Amino acid sequence: MQIVRDIDTEIGEDSPPERVVAWMLNRFAGRRLVVTTAFGMEGCALIDMIARHGVPVPVLYLDTGFLFPETLQLRDRLARRYPHLSFENRGTSLTPEAQETLYGPELWARDPDTCCNLRKVDPMRRALGDVDVWVTGLTRSQSPSRAGLRVVEWDWKYQLLGVHPLATWDRNRVWEYVQQHGVPYNELHGRGYPTLGCTHCTLPVAGNVTGEYTREGRWRGMEKNECGLHQIVGKAS
Ligand code: SF4
């Protein structure tokens, strides 16, 4: 992909996240650029970095209908702190009750892939339909499947440019940033939840302390460890 090859000469893979953010806001000014978040700690740090530039970037999120109350409270705290960013829910219109009628009870326990497709993947595909640049808080250290993540890469799944400013950071570094800058974060991190997803599929991890990342608490007892939103190819094409 020519645009990715051009960009490789503009921003290095080891560039600090703050520099990547400054570069992308300038490079893609006037393009349809959005950040998406599930309100994990990485997303909060990323939102803060972007907000410092005073640019009105849309922050899209998916209310699956099964978010923790603490996650929704965090959304409200972030919206109050960064009033020039627009926090937009792009979640499905399929209510939990309608899903139960159509697919039966507790789909997440019987067929979590279908449940994630209905409540996350399909809505995200719709949300990104008219977007040029998709900014995420993904990092390489989050899972083996994300180890090859590039700072800027063509996203074949959604056919747009993905920018991942925090790619080189780990949770400790993110936690340092959050503390340094007083960034709001989900209080559940302090109660043993390293990551936050839907209430049905997210459990606390014994011994976990704020600043330690693991995906152990997600879809426990199942093969699944990704919701399917991100298809990491790990190479420029
Ligand atoms: S995380 Fe669980 S409840 Fe949420 S969409 Fe996926 S399977 Fe459904």
| pLDDT, mean of each 10-residue run, the chain (237 residues) | 70 94 97 97 98 97 98 98 98 98 97 96 96 97 89 93 97 97 97 94 92 85 77 44
Asked if 215 and 142 touch (Cβ cutoff 8 Å), the reply is yes
Dihedral pair phi/psi, residue 179, rounded to 5°:
-70, -45
Closest ligand 1 atom number to CA of residue 113: 7
How many Cβ atoms from other residues are within 10 Å of residue 223's Cβ?
Answer: 7
Ligand 1 centre from 99 Cα, in Å?
12
Mutation test residue for ligand 1: of 200, 215, 225, the one with most atoms within 8 Å of CB: 200
Residue 183 domain-assigned? Answer: yes
Residue 225 domain-assigned? Answer: no
Ligand 1 centre from 120 Cα, in Å?
8
Q: 3-class DSSP state for residue 201?
A: helix
Is residue 115 lining ligand 1, measured as CB closer than 6 Å?
yes
The β-bridge partners of 92 are none
Structural domain total, the chain: 1
Q: Using alpha carbons only, what angle is made at residue 35 by residues 68 and 43, rounded to the nearest 5 degrees?
A: 45
Residue 64 domain-assigned? Answer: yes
Owning domain of residue 155: 2-201
Residue 133 domain-assigned? Answer: yes
Ligand 1 centre from 116 Cα, in Å?
5
Residue 227 domain-assigned? Answer: no
Q: What does the pLDDT read at residue 221?
A: 76
Residue 229 domain-assigned? Answer: no
pTM here?
0.93
How many Cβ atoms from other residues are within 10 Å of residue 129's Cβ?
Answer: 10
Q: What does the pLDDT read at residue 2?
A: 63
The structure tokens listed for 5 are 């090859």
Is residue 189 lining ligand 1, measured as CB closer than 6 Å?
no
Q: What does the pLDDT read at residue 198?
A: 97
Q: What does the pLDDT read at residue 87?
A: 98
Q: What does the pLDDT read at residue 237?
A: 30
Mutation test residue for ligand 1: of 68, 106, 227, the one with most atoms within 8 Å of CB: 227
Q: What does the pLDDT read at residue 236?
A: 34
CATH number at residue 39: 3.40.50.620
Residue 235 domain-assigned? Answer: no
Q: What does the pLDDT read at residue 70?
A: 98
Residue 219 domain-assigned? Answer: no
Closest by CA position to 171, among listed 16, 38, 43, 48: 43
Q: What does the pLDDT read at residue 183?
A: 98
